[in-house]
């Protein structure tokens, strides 16, 4: 059985392996023991914290194979980005130049450095090991976060964003970053991405261009990848688009990948998930797959199962084994969502 739960200190070796496997461009998990240890501790603190207004909490969860007790994936949520560390984006805009004298009108795209998403919640740190990328595992891992958002909406910003990985080659080099390296930063993409993942972002404010950048002056290779996603990220983007996420012309400052957004209350899975009362017994046969989670915080658990439900169901029958894995008892509530 695959169960999603909050990360704990004993998961450090597994998290480090995932950081190594995830490769370049997975900024939220750099291969740095001190940072990974801090991430785990911060998550444990966030799950235990009483929150009135979302601030700098981070919720990191792991996918565990209960048969092998092996951690095979991760997913995470940031409560409100940019509250302590600056959260940079480029905003893609348009400047219009017009002269009636010579009867010429030009529209020129620009990139402006901004902090417009400060206070937004963020979907992050989604990773599933290769051997488990089958069936509905990836979809379940990703969408389980929406059940957590639905249940604990007061702990998150009203807008939810997701930064999509931009285009890079097999060596981790980004064509969008090339002009930045040559003209402003002077360090390669992998090093800049790594420093950003460590939270060491002072160099951005010190070295990034402060004035709008005219897109037409960038190398053609850089222009072509603005707002484009890495090949491996396309399925994740499609999933989010189906949830209602849209690109509003914000891109990553290093690889030019798109950042998509949706109001928390408007996310399809948040709207369509529902609370049902648990009844423990023999589960009826069904072909319909659902994601389900308990309503706890520090003891949060989520998984998937085939459930016999109708639109007007108020109860759900769970086996004793599944109920135990989800840490729920007869008469308690679970949140369910059709896969």
What is the chain's Cα-based Rg?
22
Tell me if residue 296 is catalytic.
no
Distance, in Å, from the CA atom of 305 to the CA atom of 290, rounded to the nearest integer, reads 6
Distance, in Å, from the CA atom of 168 to the CA atom of 243, rounded to the nearest integer, reads 26
- CB contact burial 111-141 (16+ within 10 A = b; e otherwise): bebeebbebbbbbbbbbbbeebeeeebbbbb
Distance, in Å, from the CA atom of 238 to the CA atom of 158, rounded to the nearest integer, reads 22
Distance, in Å, from the CA atom of 159 to the CA atom of 118, rounded to the nearest integer, reads 10
Quick one: how far is CA 31 from the chain centroid?
18
Catalytic residue among 24, 89, 230, 296: 230
- Whether 291 and 309 have beta carbons less than 8 Å apart is answered as no
Residues belonging to the active site: 230
């Amino acid at each position: 059985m695959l169960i999603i739960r909050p990360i704990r200190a004993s998961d450090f070796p597994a998290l480090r392996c995932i950081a190594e496997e995830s490769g370049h461009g997975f900024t939220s998990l750099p291969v740095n023991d001190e940072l990974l240890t801090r991430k785990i501790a911060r998550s444990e603190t966030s799950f235990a914290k009483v929150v009135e207004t979302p601030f700098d909490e981070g919720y990191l969860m792991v996918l565990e194979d209960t048969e092998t007790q092996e951690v095979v994936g991760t997913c995470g949520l940031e409560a409100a980005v940019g509250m302590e560390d600056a959260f940079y984006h480029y905003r893609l805009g348009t400047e219009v130049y017009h002269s009636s004298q010579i009867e010429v009108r030009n529209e020129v795209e620009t990139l402006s450095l901004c902090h417009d998403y400060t206070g937004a919640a963020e979907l992050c740190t989604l990773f599933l090991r290769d051997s488990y990328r089958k069936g509905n595992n990836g979809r379940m891992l990703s969408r389980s976060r929406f059940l957590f958002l639905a249940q604990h909406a007061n702990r998150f910003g009203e807008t939810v964003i997701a930064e999509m990985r931009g285009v890079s080659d097999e060596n981790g080099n980004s064509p969008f970053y090339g002009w930045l390296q040559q003209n402003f930063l002077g360090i390669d993409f992998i090093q800049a991405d790594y420093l950003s993942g460590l939270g060491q972002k002072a160099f951005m404010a010190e070295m990034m261009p402060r004035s709008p950048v005219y897109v037409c002056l960038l190398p053609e290779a850089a222009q072509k990848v603005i707002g484009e996603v890495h090949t491996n990220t396309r399925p994740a983007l499609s999933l989010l688009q189906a949830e209602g996420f849209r690109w509003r012309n914000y891109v990553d400052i290093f690889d030019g990948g798109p950042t998509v957004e949706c109001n928390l209350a408007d996310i399809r899975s948040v709207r369509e998930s529902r609370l049902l009362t648990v009844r423990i017994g023999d589960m009826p046969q069904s072909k319909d797959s659902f994601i389900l989670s308990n309503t706890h915080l520090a003891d949060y658990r989520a998984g998937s199962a085939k459930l016999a439900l109708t639109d007007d169901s108020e109860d759900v029958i769970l086996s004793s084994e599944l109920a135990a894995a989800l840490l729920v008892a007869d008469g308690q509530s679970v949140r369910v969502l059709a896969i």
